[in-house]
């Protein structure tokens, strides 16, 4: 649909408006009594969530490329149908193809409590089958209100069973990486980066003092980001996921990531709901699975 057609069918002036965003990519601007949010149809990518009178909860890189065929750096990228590099073909896109395709708008609703609910969908097509042979339907549901809720549901619409991994790869906006700590992971087991040996977090609060790429397995508890600089805490809860990834590239590695830049690492931390490693999803024909995350500033 054109921007005009989207506004005519789904828009509400001053509350839900479609427009061309950076790079000409179509976006949805949401403004309600609770918060504002910006969502890109390219990748079904939540770019911003700002509760009224508060700083944005999500971080977006100033160096991010808004260009079809390239991933957007920041916000909540969707990783699907694989997380990380493809296991057999390194030429396929990192974290899958879902974040590199424009999704369709399925539904826009204003809820009784004043929150706004957006549903975007992606179906298998010749484009997706060039990357992955399976037949599927994926739907991202985003509710913008006092909380930000995002859920990814995948249905097997074909006849063959398939297995996939996915993630809601959330970048949180923080005052300074040196001024935060993360609660909720004490005694949890994790892999550090690509290491194969499990470690256990002994400290009650995780502090980021270097590059961190921790993959906590068997982890279902809430995480809370305490930010002394912004005087706030962000609670991150999830369902349908038993892996939590915490990532920050650190100063040295960030310099090698063009769309982060030298100092970009200081202002974000990723706390991600993931299905991967020993927690992948297998769906028979007609089956559906949903993973979700809920984010609230307390």
Give 155-207 as a DSSP string. EE-SSS-EEE-EEE-PEEE-S-GGGEEEES-TT-EEEETT--S-EE--SSEE-
The DSSP 8-state label assigned to residue 277 in this structure reads T
| 72 contact partners, CB below 8 Å, separation of at least 6 | 40, 42, 43, 45, 47, 60, 64, 65, 66, 99
Positions in the chain whose pLDDT score sits under 70? none
Q: What is the pLDDT, as a whole number, of residue 110?
A: 96
Q: Which domains does the chain have, with CATH numbers?
A: 3-297 (2.70.98.10)
* pLDDT single digits (tens) 29-59: 999 999 999 999 999 999 999 999 899 999 9
Q: How far is CA 281 from CA 29, 210, 273, in A?
A: 32, 32, 13
Strand partners, 50: 36
When computed from its CA atoms, the radius of gyration of the chain, rounded to whole angstroms, is 18
* Cβ atoms of residues 35 and 51 within 8 Å: yes
CA neighbours closer than 13 Å in the CB half-sphere of residue 243: 21
Q: What is the pLDDT, as a whole number, of residue 261?
A: 78
For the chain, give percent helix, strand, coil, nearest 5: 10, 45, 45
Burial class (CB in 10 A: 0-12, 13-18, 19+), 140: buried
| Tokens encoding 259 | 């769309």
């Amino acid at each position: 649909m054109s921007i005009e057609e989207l506004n005519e069918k789904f828009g509400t002036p001053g509350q839900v408006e479609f427009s061309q965003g950076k790079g000409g990519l179509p976006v949805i601007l949401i403004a309600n009594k609770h918060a504002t949010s910006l969502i890109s149809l390219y990748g079904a990518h939540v770019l911003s969530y700002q509760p009224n009178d508060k700083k944005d909860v999500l971080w977006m890189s100033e160096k991010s490329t808004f260009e079809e065929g390239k991933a957007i750096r920041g916000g909540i990228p969707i990783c699907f149908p694989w997380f990380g590099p493809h296991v057999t073909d390194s030429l396929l896109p990192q974290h899958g193809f879902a974040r590199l395709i424009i999704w369709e708008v399925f539904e826009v609703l204003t809820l009784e409590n004043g929150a706004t609910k957006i549903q975007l969908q992606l179906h298998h097509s010749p484009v997706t089958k060039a990357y992955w042979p399976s037949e599927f339907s994926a739907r991202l549901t985003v509710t913008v209100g006092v909380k930000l809720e995002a859920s990814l549901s995948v249905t097997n619409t074909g006849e063959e069973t398939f297995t996939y991994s996915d993630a809601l790869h959330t970048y949180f906006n923080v005052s300074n990486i040196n001024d935060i700590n993360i609660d909720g992971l004490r005694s949890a087991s994790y892999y550090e980066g690509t290491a194969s040996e499990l470690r256990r977090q002994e400290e009650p609060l995780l502090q980021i003092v270097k590059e961190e790429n921790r993959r906590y397995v068997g982890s279902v508890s809430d995480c809370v980001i305490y930010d002394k600089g912004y005087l706030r805490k962000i609670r991150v809860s999830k369902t349908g996921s038993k892996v939590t990834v915490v990532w920050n590239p650190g100063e040295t590695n960030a310099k090698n990531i063009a769309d982060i830049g030298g100092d970009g690492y200081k202002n974000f931390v990723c706390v991600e709901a993931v299905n991967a490693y020993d927690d992948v999803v297998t769906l028979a024909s007609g089956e559906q699975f949903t993973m979700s995350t809920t984010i609230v500033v307390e």
